[in-house]
Amino acid sequence: MVSALLLSFAVIFVAELGDKTQLVAMTFALRYKWYVVLGAITAATTLVHVLSVAIGHYLGAALPTHLLGILAGAMFVFFGLWTLRGDSLSDEEKSRAERATGAAFFVVTSAFFLAELGDKTMLATITLAADNDWLGVWIGSTLGMVVADGLAIIVGAVAGKHLPERLIQIVAAALFLLFGFYMLFENIFSSAPVWVVALATAAVVALCAAGLRALPERFRPAVLKPQTDSPAAEDTEQTLDAEVHQPTAPESPQPRS
């Protein structure tokens, strides 16, 4: 069991480095609290690798992974478009949202679960489970995935503290669209070379960006509209101007002694 655990940890950790799901983890960490993302990814990884080990141990590779990949790709495109909406919260809503982590946990868990289905790390886990102790493979592969994605979460969380919210939204939306279209093309045109899929993905995302920028301002997504001063800032500026230009009362003459 120990040898299977160590082997699975090493294989999955290396396989996850630079993988799209590691970049997905970093992207989610830009938008949500790091511990919510880490917990959600741990839950999703645990479930995916239970399924992977069961397939490898009992059934062999029998799932229509390309259909699952198409579903995951469509989901990430939806996330990208949703992020472009650029919702703004009041102070009270921000406080309430910080306490309500259930929705974010569900979003990250479901998205990561779908992204992992049919991914190379899932296929590697299935292969390992076919010839090694299933419990060791499950524990080792889960730990390897969580550690690799934990590194990406740290990068995302640190970057998120030093970047403007509008820039974070644009970057996150672009990454979600890239992941989504790449997964769609990868699974729809499964025989196409990787460089063709990557080039097609970049071209589609670039066309989407150009099309959104070409829209009249009132039809653009919120994060792509020109930034304007907030009402509070305008009120403060008007108050200062009024104080500066307020006429002063003439001084009364002093009586002569």
Cα–Cα distance measured from residue 19 to residue 149, given in angstroms and rounded to the nearest whole number: 10
Q: Is 60 left (phi over 0), alpha (psi -120 to 50) or beta?
A: left
Q: Range with the lowest mean pLDDT among 10-14, 62-66, 133-137, 151-155?
A: 62-66
Pair 76, 176: CB distance under 8 Å:
yes
**230 pLDDT tier (thresholds 50, 70, 90):** very low
**248 pLDDT tier (thresholds 50, 70, 90):** low
> Where in the chain are the domains?
2-226
Q: Per-residue pLDDT tens for 157-205?
A: 887 777 676 776 787 788 878 888 988 898 888 888 989 999 999 999 8
Query: Is the pTM above the cut of 0.85?
Result: no
Q: Per-residue pLDDT tens for 63-87?
A: 566 776 787 778 778 877 877 775 5
Pair 172, 32: CB distance under 8 Å:
no
Q: Which residue has the higher pLDDT, 108 or 95?
A: 108
**126 pLDDT tier (thresholds 50, 70, 90):** confident
Nearby residues of 145 by Cβ (< 8 Å), 6 or more positions away: 12, 13, 16, 41, 45, 49, 121
